[in-house]
Amino acid sequence: MPANTAPTYDERLTAPRSWRLIAALFGLAIALIFLPFGGVAALIALAAGTLLAWLYVSNQGSVRIRVIADSLVIGDARIPLRVLGDAHVLEGDEARAWRTYKADLRAFMVMRSYIPTALRIEILDPDDPTPYVYVSTRAPEQLARVLREAAG
């Protein structure tokens, strides 16, 4: 990665550890289903079921947030910093409100229910119908500061 594209902010949101327990319990449930076919079948089902559930949890529960050069990158989305407006830190009830009854259906939202804090960033591009970006983050103040600094 060239020096001018080094991330100034990099965060990976991952699923809580308790979700791995749920994945293991799913594997156990699959093993119990295969138990009538014998112990070996149950062990194979336990391993396969747990692995598949863990991969699903890992894939669905994680997203990467980065600020690189002139873009905010959230998962696969790349948003130019020049179209971003004010960033509002959301915590607790305010974050929940913007995820639910205050939410605009046109907004770009990356929500993780297991993260109680978020950042709402206005979109200033008049040609884009998206009013704002809502992104769950464990460090909303830091991300807002990096976005302000990157905007100049």
Residues 111 and 136 in one domain: yes
Summarised one tens digit per residue, pLDDT across range 85-122 is 999 999 999 999 999 999 999 999 999 888 999 999 99
- Single out the residue in 18, 34, 61 at which a domain terminates: 61
Summarised one tens digit per residue, pLDDT across range 36-65 is 999 999 999 999 999 999 999 888 778 999
d(CA 20, CA 99): 25
Structural domain of 100? 73-151
Q: Is 102 helix (H, G, I), strand (E, B) or coil?
A: coil
d(CA 30, CA 134): 37
Residues 34 and 82 in one domain: no
Residues 57 and 78 in one domain: no
Contact 136, 115 (CB under 8 A): yes
Residues 98 and 124 in one domain: yes
